[in-house]
Structure 1
Amino acid sequence: MIRPFSFSCVPVLFWSLAISSLALAQNNSPTKPKPRARDLGVPFDGPPGPLNAITDVSGVTVGHTTLIFGEGRLQVGKGPVRTGVTAVLPRGKDSMTNPVFAGWWSLNGNGEMTGTTWVEESGFLEGPVMITNTHSVGVVRDAVIQWRVNHGQPDPTGYWWSLPIVAETWDGWLNDINGFHVKPEHALHAIDSAASGPLEEGNVGGGTGMVCNGFKGGIGTASRKLDAKDGGYTVGILVQCNYGRRPDLRIAGVPVGREIPDGVPYAGTSFANDDHGSIIVVVATDTPLVAHQLKRLARRVSLGLGRNGSISGNGSGDIFIAFSTANSGAAAVDHVVDLKMLPNDKLGPVFAATVQATEEAIINAMIAAETMTGIENHKVIALPHDKLREVLKKYNRLAP
């Protein structure tokens, strides 16, 4: 089954093992919204945007392709499959032709985000940010270039080149990761289906087979709206979370992982007690920031992880990228461009919003994720909502 999700009423693709082609079906019945962290009484700092999502930043669109089929014993190349692709487009379909200022940061580099050396050098992000599983980075990267060739401006000389941003986390506990099930059409579909509006979270897109703090992880999002006195800007976060140990998990300052010790995955493995896995974080803002300021913003993601108990272990690839949708046209090649830039002395509220929204996006991913069984009947349980509320109440941290 391939499930593209950007918002509630969307086309749905179904995968059939007996048929090699993809069949497209229309689903017009609205899905019941999943509860989010705030709905369960988890307290957070800072006011969110209307959607509490990265798409609160005007122009940003997100698309997913979700691959789920097969069960039981692992047969490499056949499944079971629990994986997918997520696409974040800073300026929607104009992302290829109108780059954004960007900066990136690696808290711990046991992971991959392609194209970042050119982001570092040029200060610009051209095209989407793609997120998938560790062994599908190459095919997704090539698909992004194919998408640009198919949809971009004519290139009669053939001199055009591209260094796409593709990031990854490892889903090999649940997914046949060595079966290479992500194909170019899946990446293309994630880009083409990208939309604004409310976003699906949890077991979706690149986050389908991910594990976070010993519970089911995946895709999560959140946003913050700055006060008018601070410019009224918006900061949005999208995470693909696949990191952390159960004992380290803290929610609203409460040691939730220690209070809910049952059902930890990876039993019998050499890495059962390690902080391994990864997290990819995308930061979007309409604040007028330039490249070096966005690198500083990307660094602040680390503090949001710390609020939730992360120590960024040796086996974790914790890589973040931040971009600004302000200064449209700044990458013009044939004339001098005038820019707007928030003074460095005014960055404090933007930093705070980034930390706060990162913290919440991770918890939203875990709240939305559902229990999943994958290869070899490996089972990863979802964070139990009732027990979470009980623990927060025990520590007097349950919001009314």
Structure 2
Amino acid sequence: MFFLPRTGSARRRPVAPMPAAAGALTAAVLAAGALAAAPLGAQTPPRARDLGIPFPGEPGALNAITDVAGVRVGHATIIEGEGALVVGEGPVRTGVTAVLPRTASYEPVFAGWYSLNGNGEMTGTTWVEESGFLEGPVMITNTHSVGDVHQAVIEWSRDAEANHPIAPGIWWSLPLVAETWDGRLNDINGFHVGKEHVFAAIESAASGAVTEGAVGGGTGMVCNSFKGGIGTSSRLVGDYTVGVLVQCNYGRRPELLIAGVPVGRELLDWTPPGGADGSADAGAFDGLGSIIVVVATDAPLLPHQLKRLARRAPIGIGRMGGYGANSSGDIFIAFSTANGGAWSRGENTTVEMMSNDAISPLLLATAQATEEAITNAMVAGRTMVGRDGNMVPGLPHDEVRRILAAHNRLERP
């Protein structure tokens, strides 16, 4: 992961990897418990299972989308400033996340998409629907940075090595860029995500453990009235793997379920240490938000079958109390790394397809991994202070454990 402080204009500046101790995190933000950048590939403990939260299904070795061989994830995170909002200057709590389907090649993969509620954006989905292919990375950022990220992906594709299918010399491109809204904490109208952040997220993308919480596109996100952001999980299904990555920014505290327990309702009177959340208009933001879900598998599924996987992500969201509110953009993309060589500009190809009668365990795995990925995002979230002193509390781990234990749902100490 790259942690990128702003120096002057956020739009066009050189990029270099920065250590977690880089000075862009102000003392006030650190004191509030904001998640500092972790080294690339590092896992931010604890995760939901570490708290004893029970989940069905068997996870992969990393319990991450990167358990699907070849899938890579990269983040670029911008955290800077504190105090009153000055549009264009901050405070900044945002970033961009990249999910790349294949390790050493940018060959398109079969894909399908679905929207539970459409108050959001995921560009390029009409071509995914028409062609059946995802032709580049999946990018996730904040709502008002979609255009900048979109253009930057085109520029990156233009300048990529010759093994990129749309480079060199083929000049139309429809990148897939998804968003959720981080305006409660971030100077969202300041347009702080520049092409250097997009390039950094793509070029730093790696296999292995995935950093979760307030990183990349998830930096400024709020989930069920607690700190949200990036989360991931996976499930093993026979010889195949299903992996999920979410950027969660939806829901209200009263509806929050964890492991089937109404944790949110039991936390209605809970306040962070030190008192209320410090935001005069915090209530105005409750329920405003969205969730993006990326589903990856190595099972040989065709586009119509991948759409079926994408349609199961809402089951995982529903297990946590989500229901697709009017204000929510709940948009999902699923792709398969199988059938290498299926994409061609001119030649007929032969592909493998899993029997529909065998697909049900993959559908179940998608729902299970989505639920756990959201929980992981919330567990990884740390209390964060953003623009105008708005503060979003992290999920209180000890309280969650206490509530689950009272309902006999705590798996282990």
Query: Do 2:233 and 2:244's aligned partners in 1 also have CA atoms closer than 8 Å?
Result: yes
Query: Do 2:282 and 2:390's aligned partners in 1 also have CA atoms closer than 8 Å?
Result: no
CA distance in 2, matches of 1:140, 1:272: 25
Q: Which of 313, 318, 330 is residue 301 of structure 1 equivalent to?
A: 313
Q: Which of 243, 249, 260 is residue 236 of structure 1 equivalent to?
A: 243
Judging changes above 3 Å, is the alpha-carbon distance between structure 1 residues 337 and 316 closer, same or farther for their aligned structure 2 residues? same
SS of equivalent residue, structure 2 residue 86 = coil
Partner of 2:49: 38
**Deviation readout 1:218-259 (Å, 9 max, x if unpaired):** 0000000113xxxx2000000000000100000000000011
Partner of 2:81: 70
CA distance in 2, matches of 1:339, 1:37: 38
The reply to whether residue 81 of structure 1 matches residue 92 of structure 2 is: yes
Partner of 2:188: 177
Q: Which of 221, 231, 248 is residue 220 of structure 1 equivalent to?
A: 231
CA RMSD of the aligned region, Å?
A: 2.2
The size of the alignment, in residue pairs, is 384
The reply to whether residue 260 of structure 1 matches residue 267 of structure 2 is: yes
Cα offset for 1:145?
Answer: 0.6
SS of equivalent residue, structure 1 residue 199 = coil
Query: Do 1:52 and 1:221's aligned partners in 2 also have CA atoms closer than 8 Å?
Result: yes
Cα offset for 1:24?
Answer: 3.9
AA partner of residue 65 (structure 1): A
SS of equivalent residue, structure 1 residue 370 = coil
Query: Do 1:202 and 1:208's aligned partners in 2 also have CA atoms closer than 8 Å?
Result: yes
TM-score (norm 1): 0.91
CA distance in 2, matches of 1:267, 1:302: 32
SS of equivalent residue, structure 1 residue 92 = coil
Cα offset for 1:32?
Answer: 7.6
AA partner of residue 47 (structure 2): R
The reply to whether residue 346 of structure 1 matches residue 358 of structure 2 is: yes
Partner of 1:104: 113
SS of equivalent residue, structure 2 residue 206 = coil
CA distance in 1, matches of 2:103, 2:50: 29
Judging changes above 3 Å, is the alpha-carbon distance between structure 1 residues 364 and 333 closer, same or farther for their aligned structure 2 residues? same
SS of equivalent residue, structure 1 residue 79 = coil
**Deviation readout 1:80-133 (Å, 9 max, x if unpaired):** 0000000000013512xx100000000000000000000000000001000000
Judging changes above 3 Å, is the alpha-carbon distance between structure 1 residues 156 and 126 closer, same or farther for their aligned structure 2 residues? closer
AA partner of residue 83 (structure 1): T
Cα offset for 1:338?
Answer: 1.1
Judging changes above 3 Å, is the alpha-carbon distance between structure 1 residues 218 and 336 closer, same or farther for their aligned structure 2 residues? same
Partner of 1:8: none
Judging changes above 3 Å, is the alpha-carbon distance between structure 1 residues 218 and 389 closer, same or farther for their aligned structure 2 residues? same
The reply to whether residue 250 of structure 1 matches residue 257 of structure 2 is: yes
Q: Which runs of 5+ in 1 are unaligned?
A: 5-11
CA distance in 2, matches of 1:267, 1:276: 16
CA distance in 1, matches of 2:162, 2:408: 57
CA distance in 1, matches of 2:139, 2:96: 7
**Deviation readout 1:297-328 (Å, 9 max, x if unpaired):** 10000100000000110000000000000001
Q: Which of 132, 148, 154 is residue 157 of structure 2 equivalent to?
A: 148
Identity of paired residues, percent?
A: 62
Please list, as runs of the form range in 1=range in 2, the aligned pairs for 1:187-336 lying within 5 A after superposition: 187-227=198-238, 232-261=239-268, 262-263=270-271, 268=281, 271-273=284-286, 275-336=287-348
Query: Do 2:213 and 2:229's aligned partners in 1 also have CA atoms closer than 8 Å?
Result: yes
Query: Do 2:300 and 2:338's aligned partners in 1 also have CA atoms closer than 8 Å?
Result: yes
Query: Do 1:84 and 1:208's aligned partners in 2 also have CA atoms closer than 8 Å?
Result: yes
Cα offset for 1:346?
Answer: 0.6
CA distance in 1, matches of 2:168, 2:6: 39
Judging changes above 3 Å, is the alpha-carbon distance between structure 1 residues 379 and 55 closer, same or farther for their aligned structure 2 residues? same
AA partner of residue 224 (structure 1): R
Q: Which of 60, 66, 69 is residue 58 of structure 1 equivalent to?
A: 69
Cα offset for 1:260?
Answer: 1.0
SS of equivalent residue, structure 1 residue 276 = coil
TM-score (norm 2): 0.88
Partner of 1:122: 131
CA distance in 2, matches of 1:60, 1:373: 33
SS of equivalent residue, structure 2 residue 321 = coil
Query: Do 2:43 and 2:212's aligned partners in 1 also have CA atoms closer than 8 Å?
Result: no
Q: Which runs of 5+ in 2 are unaligned?
A: 22-37
Cα offset for 1:334?
Answer: 2.9
